[in-house]
Amino acid sequence: MNYTVLIPARLASTRLPNKPLADIVGVPMVVRVAQRVASSVQGEAPPRVVVAGDSPEIIAACREHHIEAVLTHQDHPSGSDRLAQACELLELSDDEIVVNVQGDEPLIEPALVNAVALVLQQQTHASMSTAAHFIDSVAEFNNPNVVKVVLDASSNALYFSRAPIPWWRDGSASGLAQLPTPRPLRHIGIYGYRVGFLRQFPKLAQAPMELIEALEQLRALWHGYRIVVHVSALAPGPGVDTQEDLERVRQIFRR
């Protein structure tokens, strides 16, 4: 299976300035991510991995470590706009598949990336793919920072929400004390796209529910596009949003 991993990287970060270039045991974080996803999955050739950076500093850091990178505009309003420009710069055809991996996930599993690409290749009706895993605690289910997803019988996303969905009518009547059965699903923020759809996605009007939930993937559903979901047996590795997250990841790499 042939696909391209695109890693958007921008220097501006409110909580962690210059995050893509943050040092993780001698290597910039965005390079760690690229090296990680370039690892071979058993039985599969490694994907093409490209960093879509917004500054010459990011491009230079990638090239120093032999990571392919393209320079995109600094003023893109969203990550999907940056990915769409990267597809143009790389001259990818509409029928190719790209997987968007965030540049702050140096511990992401290559097998998860491969699974997101594979499920989109297999489900030809879908324009996008993503991933989810089972929620383990009531606290996580109720946490608005944990995005939930519900699926149809063919593993297509019906809806994404920050609210606890599906709502357990009887179990929630007097305060939720345990998880419903079957267990709800937590969305994992990794996306596969058909390149032709990715070129169109930033041009679609924002959806009312997207604005309410602050979840960009709801735009695709609102406009009638299908998102197929790979359900992973494992939770993803921790991402890096804060200095504390960065120190935790550094300790893992040192070990």
Q: Residue 40 pLDDT more than 70?
A: no
Percentage of the chain exceeding pLDDT 70: 98
Query: 205-244: per-residue pLDDT in tens?
Result: 999 999 999 999 999 999 999 999 999 997 788 889 889 9
For residue 8, the tally of other CB atoms under 10 A from its CB is 24
In the chain, what are the domains?
Answer: 4-132+186-206+216-254 (3.90.550.10)
- In whole angstroms, give the CA distance from residue 198 to residue 28: 28
Q: Could you tell me the pTM of the whole model?
A: 0.92
Contact 51, 23 (CB under 8 A): no
pLDDT at 41: 65
Query: 45-89: per-residue pLDDT in tens?
Result: 789 999 999 999 999 999 999 999 999 998 888 888 899 999 999
- In whole angstroms, give the CA distance from residue 63 to residue 32: 13
Contact 129, 230 (CB under 8 A): yes
pLDDT at 77: 82
Which of 218, 161, 41 has its CA nearest to residue 113? 41
Hey, what are 3's tokens? Answer: 């696909």
pLDDT at 43: 64
